[in-house]
């Protein structure tokens, strides 16, 4: 079985994330994609954790119409920082060691992987899909692959995959800034997510 894991803060989830997951599903012949909103991201401040439940619910709303998209509370419910290695180990226990995992996230996040907890073990447990927007400079990812190959003693070329997604011109940061300054977010996020944001007065 091949399963995609969409790791992200999803603050908020937007169409760029949804297109990324759909593209990975197709390109890598995945059976399903599990969105896993981080509970308490190790590299972020407390504000992300404070609205974890909202981030989770918006992810559920955004993915509900796709029968191959699922959302997990695994990181939202786990106490302490949300380390990817802990999530992967838990998923391996649930789905079995034979399942192949494809961890999908933004290329900028993957560039920081050397600072993550137990980098080498992460690479041994899954493929990483670095989602980029067109025009992204791939040089740093190539350097990262060299560093990781040196660190693990194995060629990691086949383990770090790059996927270009034009819709990633949309960003959560831009959406939050738009809301703060009263500009529209129509068509950047699913309508249900937009309604949820305004109903709960998020990002004002
Ligand atoms: P981030 O640093 O906020 O995101 C970096 C870039 O990647 C942003 O442009 C972001 O765009 C984009 N991005 C994030 N998730 C994406 C996704 N699933 N698909 C496409 N683009 C995505 O990263 P983050 O969201 O906090 O973390 C990404 C993942 O890495 C999470 O699963 C997190 O738990 C994991 N992580 C683990 C560790 C660790 O184990 N020590 C440390 C850091 C991160 P948007 O802002 O528009 O989403």
**pLDDT (tens digit per residue) in 128-165:** 999 999 899 999 999 999 999 998 888 998 999 999 99
Average pLDDT over every residue of 27-32: 98
Instruction: Please calculate the CA angle 41-44-45 and round it to the nearest 5 degrees.
Output: 115
pLDDT of 45 strictly over 90: no
pLDDT of 65 strictly over 90: yes
Before 55, cis peptide (omega within 30)? no
Distance 9 CA to ligand 1 centre (A): 6
pLDDT of 117 strictly over 90: yes
* Nearest CA residue ID for atom 17, ligand 1: 105
Structure tokens that stand for 124 in this block: 């041994």
* Nearest CA residue ID for atom 2, ligand 1: 109
Distance 167 CA to ligand 1 centre (A): 16
* Nearest CA residue ID for atom 18, ligand 1: 105
Q: Which residue has the tokens 């770090």?
A: 160
74 lines ligand 1 (CB under 6 A): no
Give the model's pLDDT for residue 44.
82
Task: Name the E strands within 31-190.
Answer: 32-37, 69-71, 100-106, 126-132, 160-164
* Nearest CA residue ID for atom 11, ligand 1: 171
Domain boundaries, the chain: 2-169
186 confidence band (pLDDT: 50, 70, 90): very high
Task: Name the E strands within the chain.
Answer: 2-8, 32-37, 69-71, 100-106, 126-132, 160-164
Pick the CATH number of 2-169 from 3.30.230.10, 3.40.50.620, 3.60.20.10, 3.90.950.10: 3.40.50.620
CA separation for the pair 16, 21 (Å, rounded): 9
Give the model's pLDDT for residue 145.
95
Instruction: Please calculate the CA angle 125-127-128 and round it to the nearest 5 degrees.
Output: 115
pTM for this prediction: 0.97
Distance 49 CA to ligand 1 centre (A): 14
């Amino acid at each position: 079985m091949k399963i995609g894991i969409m790791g992200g803060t999803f603050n908020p989830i937007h169409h760029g994330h949804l297109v990324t997951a759909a593209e990975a599903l197709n390109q890598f012949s995945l059976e399903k994609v599990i969105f896993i909103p981080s509970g308490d991201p190790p590299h972020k401040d407390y504000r992300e954790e404070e609205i974890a439940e909202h981030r989770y619910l918006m992810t559920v709303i955004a993915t509900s119409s796709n029968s191959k998209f699922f959302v997990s509370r695994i990181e939202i419910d786990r106490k302490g920082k949300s380390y990817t290695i802990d999530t992967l180990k838990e998923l391996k226990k649930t789905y079995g060691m034979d399942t192949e995992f494809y961890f999908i996230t933004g290329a900028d996040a993957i560039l920081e992987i050397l600072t993550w907890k137990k980098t080498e073990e992460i690479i041994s447990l899954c493929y990483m899909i670095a989602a980029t927007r067109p025009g992204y400079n791939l040089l740093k990812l190539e350097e990262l692959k060299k560093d990781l190959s040196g660190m693990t003693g194995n060629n990691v070329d086949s383990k770090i995959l790059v996927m270009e997604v034009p819709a990633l011109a949309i960003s959560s940061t831009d959406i939050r800034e738009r809301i703060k300054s009263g500009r529209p977010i129509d068509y950047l996020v699913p309508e249900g997510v937009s309604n949820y944001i305004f109903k709960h007065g998020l990002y004002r």
